[in-house]
Amino acid sequence: MALRIITPLSFPKSVQAGRSTTTSASAPAAPPVRGIYPAVSFRSLDHRPVIADGRLREDFSSGTGRVSAFPLCFATAGTSGRSQDQSSSLEGGIESGEDEKVVKKAVPSLPDRDFSGTPYVPVYVMLPLDVVNMSCEVADPDGLMNDLKLLKIAGVDGVMVDCWWGIVEANRPLEYNWSGYKHMFQIIRQLKLKLQVVMSFHKCGGNVGDDMTIPLPNWIAEIGSASPDMYFTDREGRRNTECLTWGIDKERVLRGRTALEVYFDFMRSFRVELDEFFEEGIISEIEVGLGPCGELRYPSYPMEHGWRYPGIGEFQCYDRYLMKSLKNAAEERGHSFWGKGPDNAGTYNSRPQDTGFFRDGGDYDGYYGRFFLSWYSKVLFDHADHVLMLAKLAFEGSSIAAKVSGVHWWYKTASHAAELTAGFYNSCNRDGYAPIAAILKKHNTALNFTCVELRTMNQYEEFPEAMSDPEGLVWQVLNAAWDAGIPVASENALPCFDRDGFNKILENAKPLNDPDGRHLLSFTYLRLAPALFEEGNFFEFKRFVKKMHGEAVIDQ
């Protein structure tokens, strides 16, 4: 039987060993959350902590049959039946096979960084998607109160909640129902927690983590059934009903209003009807939804159309409004034959090297390619510019934020194909995020960025073909924002319960030895779920919150 010595891969300094997350070989692979696609372990949850006599207690109930769909951060189920975490933390472990044994050298565990005395970074927690139901009522007031008390024990500063367009203005234009949100805000106020509120102009459902469906308003669907060009459309003519195309931002196709006017009226109504919570300082920030999942991007990788990670996605500009805009831009440039989308950009699940447009030396960097990508990204910039201008008017004097998605796959290729189809013109010879930071700066808006818990090495181990680099992307985006002089907030892309994931968030929140002392404005944790309150997970979360607050942590 052969004996083979394997030297561990060279880890970045930021990568720490000693993680303990485990999975079983039979664990099913989960589809992507906002573009992230690690496999996960599923485990049933049959208990829920409650507060009694001032103490945490476990409330065990039988026969619930509930299963957590929230993965441990970085847990993977490979064919070997062992997680990445185990693989990277084995010290002198032996792996047996029929013909050989593999001995792995020890990977030294690095001590945790001491964050005591560092700047205070507020921590918020996203509430469940169904906290307010389709009737605009708080679904479970007692359960919400109990969960908020637990979060209060953990020391969090507040919570984030989506205000869904499809719930509030569900049936008729300009008829708003805020009753459920008022009730929920009153509960949050009782516990002296702060609120981050998202103006959610997109559909909920179809993405991993979406445990319910909240469509766009019924009256919008009625218009869309007769005029489907109001939705983003791919080259094959497939419509995406997750949000409205930016091509109708200034078109009066919504019962006499433009899309921009609809968004503004919604935001203004919220500001007026929930005024008391602004005046009392309960609402600390408004995050303005700018696209699918509330993020500033095109819906270029929809699962409902068959996309799977790490596909490059497809351009979403084939509704008649955006095509008219493209043709006008081509004519102004003097090349009317450029007024069409690329015909060699592949399909949702193509790889860059398999397409004539995105391959190295491909058309993306030719005369037409540069024209098209400049126009495509400008449409995205203009949408953000217009909506944020109106948000600034509606929420004058309040803090505003906008979320940008972390499209990190194919980041290590020349074209950055997945970013290009999402609207970020960030190929190897361009900076696609500095223009976004400039727009946010113009409107005094903070940047909220995702995937700060991901490590490049973990992504490489699971999907080496994806050429992913979340750490490089985070570094680029954070510095683009800081260089523009705007605040930066962040959130995790995947539910995270382990120390390694929390440590990575801390590293990004408070960069070591930054000469300017830069740090995140705030961090929002995705998402409140029963698994967070399990004993080990809750311990790690409380420890993380203390470090974000700059408090000393003594492990016993």
Active site (catalytic) residues: 295, 491
Instruction: Tell me how far CA of residue 467 lies from CA of 30, 93, 117, 286, in angstroms.
Output: 20, 29, 37, 35
CB 500 within 8 A of CB 73: yes
Confirm whether residue 443 is marked as ligand binding: no
The one-letter code for the residue type at 196 is: Q
Kindly write down the DSSP assignment for every residue of 194-231, as one continuous string.
EEEEEEE-S-B-SSTT--S-BPSPHHHHHHHHH-GGGE
Please tell me the total number of residues recorded for the chain in this structure.
556
Asked whether residue 408 is marked as a ligand-binding residue, the answer is yes
CA–CA separation, 25 vs 110, rounded Å?
A: 28
As a whole number of Å, the end-to-end CA separation of the chain is: 44
β-sheet bridge partners, residue 400: 286, 445
239 is in an annotated binding site: no
- Biggest alpha carbon–alpha carbon distance for the chain: 78
Residue pair 78/67 in contact (Cβ under 8 Å)? The answer is no
- CB-count exposure of residue 464 (10 Å: 0-12, 13-18, 19+): exposed
* Tokens linked to 199: 């103006």
403 is in an annotated binding site: yes
Residue 500, marked binder: no
- Residue 245 makes CB contacts below 8 A (sequence gap 6+) with 229, 230, 231, 232, 233, 316, 319, 321, 322
Spatial contact of 358 and 467, defined as CB atoms under 8 Å apart: no
- 161's tokens: 């909640």
Q: Rounded to whole angstroms, how far apart are CA atoms 40 and 73? A: 8
> Is 493 labelled as part of a ligand binding site?
yes
Helix orientation angle between 367-394 and 259-273, rounded to the nearest 10 degrees: 30
* Residue 527 among known ligand-binding residues: yes
Q: Is 202 annotated for ligand binding?
A: yes
Q: Please choose, from the candidates 87, 43, 110, the residue with its C-alpha nearest in 3D space to the C-alpha of residue 462.
A: 87
Which residues touch 403 (CB under 8 Å, ≥6 apart)?
287, 289, 290, 294, 295, 296, 448, 449, 450, 491
Instruction: Please state whether the peptide bond connecting residue 310 to the residue before it is cis, i.e. omega within 30 degrees of 0.
Output: yes
d(CA 323, CA 326): 5
The Cα–Cα gap between 340 and 231 comes to 18
Three-class SS state of 110: coil
383 marked among binding-site residues: no
Enumerate the known binding-site residues: 162, 202, 210, 403, 408, 450, 492-493, 527
Enumerate the known binding-site residues for substrate: 162, 202, 210, 403, 408, 450, 492-493, 527
